[in-house]
């Protein structure tokens, strides 16, 4: 589903921040990227989504080369990206934020309503607040809305940057439960960046460790990595 070969990306003319990264995810796989602060995790997701100019390498989604495409074109190719933090439009309502995320795709009214229902079923708290301005939601609610916006794009590949940031343990569990539910309904592939989250909570199939821009795969199933293993790997 996602095939990355020797990807190199940098900010401007600076040194490469993503260095010769290769990875391959099968349809429906959920992979987690962990690493120290500044290792390049966010930059990797931004490069995969076309927010940075790739220096070299290739990115294929469902067998289609997306290198060189704009983020908008990548959404149309089946990718969606939820950045870290409060990635919502604060002046718009919850309902308007969900709609705006779908605006980049030419959807029928019926399909748009189906996706909105899916997002609101997964995050019922948003359903009660559809007419509330997104900027007045709590930080955790804004994170859920950001994931809801990704769901509106019904991608084949979701790139999620630290979705658990700022959420209470219960909310983290609810959010990953919602993602698991979504994966149960479709074979969406997920690449998620987390810092120190328990892998059992994330439900990741595979684990990648990023160190100084380079990515290495944990050679056993992610679920077998204990917190102690993780500290040693990082």
Q: Is 16 in the site for ligand ATP (CB under 6 A)?
A: no
Q: Is 78 in the site for ligand ATP (CB under 6 A)?
A: no
Alpha-carbon distance of 156 to 80, in angstroms, equals: 8
Options 37-45, 87-95, 140-148, 217-225: segment touching ligand ATP (CB under 6 A): 37-45
| Residue among 47 and 126 whose Cβ is closer to ligand ATP | 47
Phi, psi of 50 (to 5 degrees): 85, 20
Burial of 204 (0-12, 13-18, 19+ CB in 10 A): buried
Strand ranges (E), the chain: 2-10, 16-25, 30-35, 54-61, 64-65, 79-82, 157-161, 189-193, 206-211, 214-217
Q: Is 15 in the site for ligand ATP (CB under 6 A)?
A: no
Residue for token digits 């790997």? 233
Among 7, 9, 17, 171, binds ligand ATP (CB under 6 A): 17
Options 40-48, 53-61, 150-158, 184-192: segment touching ligand ATP (CB under 6 A): 40-48
| Residue among 17 and 188 whose Cβ is closer to ligand ATP | 17
In the complex, the residues that contact ligand ATP under the rule CB under 6 A are: 11, 17, 35, 37-43, 195
């Amino acid at each position: 589903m996602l095939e990355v070969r020797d990807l190199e990306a940098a900010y401007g003319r600076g040194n490469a921040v993503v260095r010769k990264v290769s990875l391959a995810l099968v349809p429906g796989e959920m992979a987690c990227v962990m690493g120290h602060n500044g290792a390049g995790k966010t930059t990797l997701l931004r490069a995969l989504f076309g927010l940075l100019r790739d220096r070299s390498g290739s990115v294929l989604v469902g067998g289609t080369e997306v290198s060189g495409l704009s983020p908008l074109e990548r959404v149309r190719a089946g990718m969606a990206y939820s950045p870290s933090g409060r990635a919502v439009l604060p002046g718009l309502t919850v309902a308007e934020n969900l709609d705006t995320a779908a605006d980049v795709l030419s959807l029928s009214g019926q399909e748009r309503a189906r996706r909105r229902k899916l997002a609101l079923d997964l995050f019922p708290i948003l359903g009660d607040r559809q007419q509330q301005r997104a900027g007045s939601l709590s930080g955790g609610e804004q994170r859920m809305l950001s994931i809801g916006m990704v769901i509106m794009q019904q991608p084949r590949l979701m790139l999620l940057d630290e979705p658990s940031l700022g959420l209470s343990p219960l909310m983290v569990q609810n959010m990953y439960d919602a993602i698991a539910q979504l994966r149960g309904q479709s074979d969406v592939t997920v690449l998620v960046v987390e810092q120190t989250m328990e892998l059992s909570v994330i439900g990741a199939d595979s684990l990648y460790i990023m160190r100084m821009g380079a990515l290495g795969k944990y050679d056993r199933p992610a679920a077998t990595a204990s917190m102690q293993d993780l500290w040693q790997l990082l």
